[in-house]
Amino acid sequence: PRALGVIVGGAFTTWAAFIALVAGVLAGGGAIEFTTFLAWVVVAVFGALALLFGWWTIGIARLAYEIDDDALRIRWCGREVVIPVVDIQRVVPGRTVGEETVSGLNWWGCHIGRGMAASLGPTLFFATHNRPEDNVFVVTPGRTYGLTVPDQVAFAEACSRRLIVGFEPGEPQRVEPQGLALLPLWGDQDVWFALSFVLVALGALGGFLFSQYPDLPALVQIDFPRATGIVRVDHPSALLRIGAVGGGIVAVNLGLGFLLHARERAAGLWLLVSAGLIQAVLLGAAVVAFERA
């Protein structure tokens, strides 16, 4: 039943990638002006959306439930939700639950996130149903899980067979990250704050360069430090190197910062923040350079 979710997610991914591609073509062939900068912003935003929807679509395609003698495991987007079998109190078919609402990823064939089931209360959905009747609800002491299982009878029997044995209370329900999800940066709010600061600073630098460039004369005067007494006359595009330097610094610092964060959090954060601070310095340098040009 997940085919519809994959198709819709793939359509969203393609749509976002297409807009990013069109904007990239327009920006690449456009003049150096503020509207071109906005086109590059569209490329960045919709490119990120394409990656995000692509990741979610892969997650839908690979969504899996596995039950053994110890636990029910739900695999979703690099994470595994582990529900000890001893915690399962009952399995309820979706046709008996009533109205369902989901807040999170919620489109045709994809229902992932927190929600409500009318007769069961707060529920975590990892479902790909097309109709509410396609779902089965696993009720535990702490929470309820909504899953889309093709053979609900077999699933309920698998749970009940393991409950008959009678287990002693074991480990709690938990989420275990896997693969890239193991990196601690995903849960570090300071990383996302620093990244936002870097992107805003880089955007401010780029926006200034693109907005001021059309007003420059055909030739500009570039002053080196006054102590040298050197003055160079060049094409206005020479001033755009400030933006190129800023972009290069961001790329290097972000790469090194993400790599270092797992081993040395403080060093990783400093690299991220310093990238933003350097953008601010370059913005100041750009303002001075454009005024003197």
Q: Indicate the DSSP class of residue 1.
A: -
Domain ranges of the chain: 1-62, 65-179, 183-293
Phi, psi of 287 (to 5 degrees): -60, -45
Give mean pLDDT in consecutive 10-residue pieces for the chain, a chain of 293 residues: 90 97 94 93 97 96 90 92 90 89 91 92 92 90 91 86 59 86 86 93 92 79 54 68 87 90 90 92 84 70
| Strand, coil or helix: 151 | coil
Answer for the pair 139, 159: CB distance below 8 angstroms, yes or no.
no
Give the C-alpha separation, 134 to 132, whole Å.
Answer: 5
Q: What is the torsion angle, in degrees rounded to the nearest 10, for the CA atoms of residue 205, residue 33, residue 50 and residue 245?
A: -40
| Strand, coil or helix: 166 | coil
Looking up tokens 């979710």, which residue turns up?
5
Q: Which residues pair with 232 in a beta bridge?
A: 222
What count of residues does the chain have? Answer: 293
Within 13 Å, how many C-alpha atoms sit on residue 169's CB side?
4
What are the residues whose beta carbons fall under 8 Å from the beta carbon of 6, sequence distance 6 or more? 57, 60, 61, 109
Phi, psi of 12 (to 5 degrees): -60, -40
Q: Indicate the DSSP class of residue 119.
A: T
Q: What local confidence, expressed as pLDDT, does residue 26 receive? A: 94
**Strand pairing category for 79-84 and 174-177:** antiparallel
Q: Which residues pair with 91 in a beta bridge?
A: 138
